[in-house]
């Protein structure tokens, strides 16, 4: 079935209420901490209080003797059992020229700690309190070493003695480049005008509502392990843990990610705690639970963003882009986390063409180890960094060329597809002018001058900011991922099990942790089979039940996981048609299927889906060499391309120059997600993304002390999370150009809001402050920073 026929089916485009919400709203959800296993014990991790230190010795005697303690483990035990370090750099094999440095990442520190919160020891006791008390008794003798926390210090080598890893004495991990440098340099030499911009993309801490949690369990009788874990991709977790770290046969390990209270990217990695619990479960022959407290989450969840960049755009006299060059320094933190090498490279640099016809783009990335928590994918992963840089630069180009924020964009928009960018990606479809036009109407841009005058009359500054983003999601087509140096493609698997009575259970490798898959995937199946949505159940998050899966990230679930289910449904339909043909004594070629009924073309013969499903399981005289009993199909789907959601966002801010308080007064987002399955869920996804993106622009900022490497924003007292009253009512609009290469016509929506919004906010802040002489500004626009920018412009 083609995408266009699919979009016309019942339930597609219907705002059905989420099936999963009943259990969440009535307290019946089952998160990892809700799972209570027999004779469950508790683990607490001893973490490094230092950013960088040599471990001289660890004395665990007192801890071992403490009440209730079952075991105390250190890096020495890990080494003795030949447990490998965590896999790193899974997505890039090598870089242009020099190989990427992949230092060991032991699950418990061996000889050295490299960030505050690094794992030093694990204490297991009968109760959590006993484990906490015993952890206090672990004595670690450290020699504190100099720490480096930001890329400027790392790149300049300013801090003597701050080499984190032997294999990277200058703390440099890799250099990566894309684009034709010679062609870019030539275009710059002939430019009428060059706009330059230095900017910082501030580090963020993910803060999912449910902190990380895991339970390790071991069955002596079957020699099987089970890991319950708050995670976004249980099959990948199992693969990495068995094949790379523990050397176990994969079929002996079951990973279950039950209800997960948000992940935003921070739960796609294999974390040290997960391995420690699985390993120790066998050693102690106990079920062992660990639940992070919020302070641990701040210290040890993978952080996001943290780029320092210089960008330049070459233009002709009319503001047409000729070429762009970018140099980015990416902070990787203390170790190379699972997807960390992909974030500032294939998920970032390839997006820097944006929505524009810039003929040449050259991007160079240097990445650095620092004494901070590992940095990895966080909602958008690379694409927010690309969009922030490009959309800030484009607005500045407009201002320098005397063009409005809309005009500079419109002059450079791509208008025909497919469009091959100079940085590897080929966009299949879009309509960027339509998004811009609709956004301007919804935002009432025509009324901005009057609103600005009204603000001025109150002594307030008003600004408007644009951002026209594009992102690549539906990650990742194996062919493109492979061509860009990835070690694995990221297809998806779906199994459709039709029961004799015609109800359906679907097993998907995608994982829902807030995105509503149990509803939208059921809509897809119900639409396709012509059965009620209530008759479809979606099972995910369990390697023991789902055949295979690559998990959820990069807004890939509907476009890759959903497409795998569609492929399995194709097989179901083909087989069901054979059964229907047999039942109606017709040829398979004459059978049509729609609206839940099989008909013989050109006759009035028909039978419902339920009759065919029953026939598949009861004895019939169809020839077994032609048709096996049962109606159960599995499919793997590997997309041929990414999907490319795009849109224009317009933000209006009002700033009190006396206090620096910045209020987002209006925010309009017009997105193109192709065919939409459930508009209400998509709207919720956009709202969530916008809140995270505007949160980054206005409030959130992770700060480490430059000298000691201590995390200064280690709690909600210092790390400002956005709240509902920080936002106006968002105005949302949609343009629909269906994706051309997946059977649903969908493009991902899960990250767009977080990708497109930060530059819209900061462009608005700068628009408001430009009359006061403020030329540049880095996120977040907290009152103090805005006020300071105004004061320094005055000085
Ligand atoms: N959808 C739709 N029509 C479309 C596109 C999507 O109806 N054209 C629906 C999908 O069927 C799905 C939801 O919207 O129910 C999101 O789909 P998709 O864009 O495919 O994204 P994923 O399901 O793969 O979710 C991943 C994405 C990412 S990468 C992050 S980070 C993120 C996000 O989703 N983390 C979240 N949204 C989150 N929402 C919650 N509540 N919690 C998180 O951790």
pLDDT tens digit sequence for 588-620: 999 999 999 999 999 999 999 999 999 999 876
> What are residue 166's phi and psi, to 5 degrees?
-60, -35
Do the domain assignments include residue 320? no
Residue 453 lies in a domain: yes
Instruction: State residue 174's pLDDT score.
Output: 92
Of 603, 637, 671, which closes a domain? 637
The mean per-residue pLDDT over the stretch 150-162 comes to 88
Does the CB atom of residue 682 touch ligand 1 within 6 A?
A: yes
Give residue-wise pLDDT tens across range 82-128. Answer: 999 998 866 665 566 678 899 999 999 999 999 999 999 999 999 99
Q: Give the pLDDT band (50/70/90) at residue 187.
A: very high
| CA 553 to ligand 1: nearest atom | 29
Confidence at 407, pLDDT banded by 50, 70, 90 = very high
All residues at 6 or more sequence positions from 626 whose CB lies less than 8 Å from its CB, including other chains: 578
Domain identity same for 682 and 780: yes
> What is the model's pLDDT at position 4?
82
CB of residue 693 inside a 6 A radius of ligand 1: no
712 and 784, same domain (yes or no): yes
Cβ-based neighbours of 354, under 8 Å, separated by 6 or more? 386, 387, 390, 391, 394, 468, 469, 470
The CATH code of the domain that includes 91 is: 3.90.1170.50
**Given 596, 615, 637, which residue is the final one in a domain?**
637
Tokens of 621: 């005289």
747 Cα nearest atom in ligand 1 = 8
Q: Do the domain assignments include residue 433? A: yes
**Segment 205-234 mean pLDDT:** 97
- Residue 158 confidence (pLDDT): 81
- For ligand 1, whether the C-beta of 754 sits within 6 Å is no
For residues 525 and 575, state if they share a domain: yes
Distance, CA 749 to ligand 1 centroid (Å)? Answer: 6
Place 195 in a pLDDT band, splitting at 50, 70 and 90: very high
- Mean pLDDT score, 136-143: 98
Distance 553 CA to ligand 1 centre (A): 8
For residues 25 and 46, membership in a common domain is answered with: no
- Write down the pLDDT at residue 730: 98
Q: Strands, DSSP E only, in 60-207? A: 69-74, 112-113, 119-125, 139-144, 172-178, 193-201
Model confidence band, residue 263 (pLDDT cutoffs 50, 70, 90): very high
Same domain membership, residue 384 and residue 243: no
Q: Indicate whether residue 7 lines ligand 1 (CB < 6 A).
A: no
Instruction: Flag whether 173 is in a domain.
Output: no
Kindly indicate the confidence band of residue 159, based on its pLDDT and cuts at 50, 70 and 90.
confident
Based on the fold, state whether residues 220 and 141 are members of the same structural domain.
yes
Burial class from Cβ neighbours inside 10 Å (0-12, 13-18, 19+) for residue 484 reads buried
- Per the domain annotation, does 158 fall within a domain? no
Evaluate whether residue 70 is within a structural domain. yes
Is 398 in the same domain as 415? yes
What percent of the chain shows pLDDT beyond 70? 97
Ligand 1 atom index nearest CA of 554: 29
Cβ of residue 751 lying under 6 Å from some atom of ligand 1: yes
- The residue whose CA is least distant from atom 10 of ligand 1 is 558
Average pLDDT over every residue of 126-151? 98
25 lies in which domain range? 3-29+492-637
Q: How high does pLDDT run on average in the chain?
A: 95
Nearest CA to ligand 1 atom 13: 515
- At 479 the pLDDT is 81
Which of the listed residues 606, 637, 668 is the one where a domain comes to its end?
Answer: 637
Q: Is 462 in the pocket of ligand 1 (CB under 6 A)?
A: no
pLDDT tens, position by position, 488-532: 778 999 999 999 999 999 999 999 999 999 999 999 999 999 999
Answer yes or no: are the C-beta atoms of 385 and 346 closer than 8 Å. Answer: no
- Rounded Cα gap, residues 116 and 334, in angstroms: 10
Domain of 521, CATH number, reads 3.30.365.10
Q: How far is the CA of 422 from the centre of ligand 1 (A)?
A: 29
Q: pLDDT of 720-743, one tens digit each? A: 999 999 999 999 999 999 999 999
Same domain, 535 and 411: no
At 26 the pLDDT is 96
**pLDDT > 90? residue 475:** no
Nearest ligand 1 atom to alpha carbon 688: 39
Atom 14 (ligand 1) nearest CA: 682
Mind listing the pLDDT tens digit for each residue in 383-394? 999 999 999 999
> Do the domain assignments include residue 592?
yes
What average pLDDT does the segment 757-772 reach?
Answer: 98
pLDDT above 90 coverage of the chain, percent: 92
Element (H, E) at 399: helix 383-401
Give the whole-angstrom CA distance, residue 540 versus residue 564: 14
pLDDT at 279: 98
Residues 546 and 580 in one domain: yes
Asked if 461 and 573 sit in the same domain, the reply is no
Per-residue pLDDT reduced to its tens digit, 679-724: 999 999 999 999 999 999 999 999 999 999 999 999 999 999 999 9
pLDDT of residue 517: 98
What is the model's pLDDT at position 95? 61
364 occurs within a structural domain: no
pLDDT for the residue 96: 60
Residues 515 and 616 in one domain: yes
ipTM exceeds 0.90: yes
Q: Report the domain count for the chain.
A: 3
Q: Clarify whether residues 256 and 137 are in a common domain.
A: yes
517 CA to centre of ligand 1 in angstroms: 8
Q: For 409-422, what is each residue's pLDDT tens digit?
A: 999 999 999 999 99
pLDDT for the residue numbered 3: 81
């Amino acid at each position: 079935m083609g995408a266009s026929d699919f979009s016309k089916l019942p339930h597609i485009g219907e705002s059905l209420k989420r099936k999963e919400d009943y259990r969440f709203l009535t307290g019946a959800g089952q998160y990892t901490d809700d799972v209570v296993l027999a004779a469950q014990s508790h683990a607490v991790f001893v973490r490094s209080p230092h950013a960088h230190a040599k471990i001289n010795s660890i004395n665990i005697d007192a801890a071992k003797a403490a009440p209730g303690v079952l075991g105390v483990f250190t890096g020495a035990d890990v080494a003795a059992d030949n447990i490998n370090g965590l896999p790193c750099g899974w997505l890039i094999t090598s870089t242009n020229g020099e190989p990427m440095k992949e230092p060991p990442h032991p699950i418990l520190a061996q000889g050295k700690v490299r960030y505050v919160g690094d794992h030093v020891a694990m204490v297991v006791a009968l109760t959590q309190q006993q484990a906490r008390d015993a952890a206090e008794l672990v004595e670690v003798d450290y020699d504190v070493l100099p720490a480096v926390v930001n890329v400027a210090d790392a790149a300049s080598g300013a801090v003597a003695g701050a080499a984190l890893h032997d294999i990277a004495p200058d703390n440099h991990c890799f250099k990566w480049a894309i684009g034709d440098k010679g062609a870019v340099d030539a275009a710059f030499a002939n430019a009428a005008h060059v706009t330059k911009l230095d900017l910082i993309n501030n580090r963020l801490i993910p803060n999912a509502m449910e902190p990380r949690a895991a339970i390790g369990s071991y069955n002596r009788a079957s020699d099987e392990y089970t890991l319950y874990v708050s995670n976004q991709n249980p099959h990948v977790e199992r693969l990495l843990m068995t094949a790379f770290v523990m050397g176990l046969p994969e079929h002996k390990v079951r990973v279950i990610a039950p209800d997960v209270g948000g992940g935003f990217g921070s739960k796609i990695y294999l974390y040290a705690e997960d391995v420690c619990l699985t390993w120790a479960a066998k050693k102690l022959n106990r079920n062992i639970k660990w639940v992070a407290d919020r302070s641990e989450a701040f210290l040890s969840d993978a952080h996001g963003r943290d780029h320092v960049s210089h960008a330049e755009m070459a233009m002709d006299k009319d503001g047409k882009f000729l070429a762009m060059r970018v140099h980015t320094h990416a902070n990787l933190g203390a170790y190379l986390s699972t997807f960390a090498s992909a974030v500032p490279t294939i998920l970032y640099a390839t997006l820097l063409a944006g929505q524009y016809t810039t003929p040449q783009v050259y991007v160079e990335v240097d990445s650095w180890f620092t004494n901070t928590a590992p940095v990895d994918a966080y909602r958008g992963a690379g694409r927010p960094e690309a969009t922030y840089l490009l959309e800030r630069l484009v607005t500045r180009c407009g201002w320098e060329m005397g063009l409005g924020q809309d005009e500079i964009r419109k002059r450079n928009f791509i208008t025909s597809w497919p469009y091959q960018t100079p940085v590897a990606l080929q966009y299949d479809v879009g309509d960027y002018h339509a998004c811009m036009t609709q956004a301007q109407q919804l935002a009432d841009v025509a009324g901005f001058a009057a609103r600005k005058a009204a603000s001025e009359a109150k002594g307030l500054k008003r600004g408007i900011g644009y951002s026209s983003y594009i992102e690549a999601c539906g990650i990742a087509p194996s062919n493109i991922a492979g061509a860009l140096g990835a070690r694995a493609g990221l297809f998806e698997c779906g199994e459709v099990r039709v029961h004799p009575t015609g109800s359906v259970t679907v097993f998907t490798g995608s994982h829902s942790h807030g995105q509503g898959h149990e509803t939208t995937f059921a809509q897809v199946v119900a639409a396709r089979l012509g059965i009620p949505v209530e008759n479809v159940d979606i099972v995910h998050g369990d390697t023991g039940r789902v055949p295979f899966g690559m998990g959820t990230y990069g807004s890939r679930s509907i476009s890759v996981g959903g497409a795998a289910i569609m492929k399995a449904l194709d097989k179901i339909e083909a087989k069901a048609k054979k059964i229907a043909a047999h039942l109606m004594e017709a040829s398979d070629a004459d059978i049509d299927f729609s609206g839940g009924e099989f008909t013989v073309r050109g006759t009035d013969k028909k039978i419902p889906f339920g009759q065919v499903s029953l026939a598949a399981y009861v004895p019939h005289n169809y020839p077994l060499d032609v048709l096996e009993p049962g109606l159960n199909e599995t499919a793997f789907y590997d997309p041929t391309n990414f999907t490319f959601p795009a849109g224009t966002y317009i933000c209006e801010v009002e700033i009190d120059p006396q206090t620096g308080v910045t209020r987002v007064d209006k925010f309009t987002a017009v997105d193109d997600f192709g065919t939409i399955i459930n508009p209400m869920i998509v709207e919720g996804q956009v709202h969530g993304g916008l809140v995270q993106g505007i949160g980054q622009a206005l409030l959130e900022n992770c700060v480490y002390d430059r000298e000691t490497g201590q995390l200064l924003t280690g709690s909600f007292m210092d790390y400002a999370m956005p709240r509902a009253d920080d936002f106006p009512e968002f105005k949302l609009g949609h343009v629909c150009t269906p994706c051309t290469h997946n059977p649903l016509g969908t493009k991902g929506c899960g990250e767009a809001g977080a990708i497109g919004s930060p530059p819209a906010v900061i462009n608005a802040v700068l628009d408001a402050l430009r009359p006061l002489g403020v030329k540049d500004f880095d996120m977040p626009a907290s009152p103090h920073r805005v006020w300071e920018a105004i004061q320094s412009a005055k000085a």
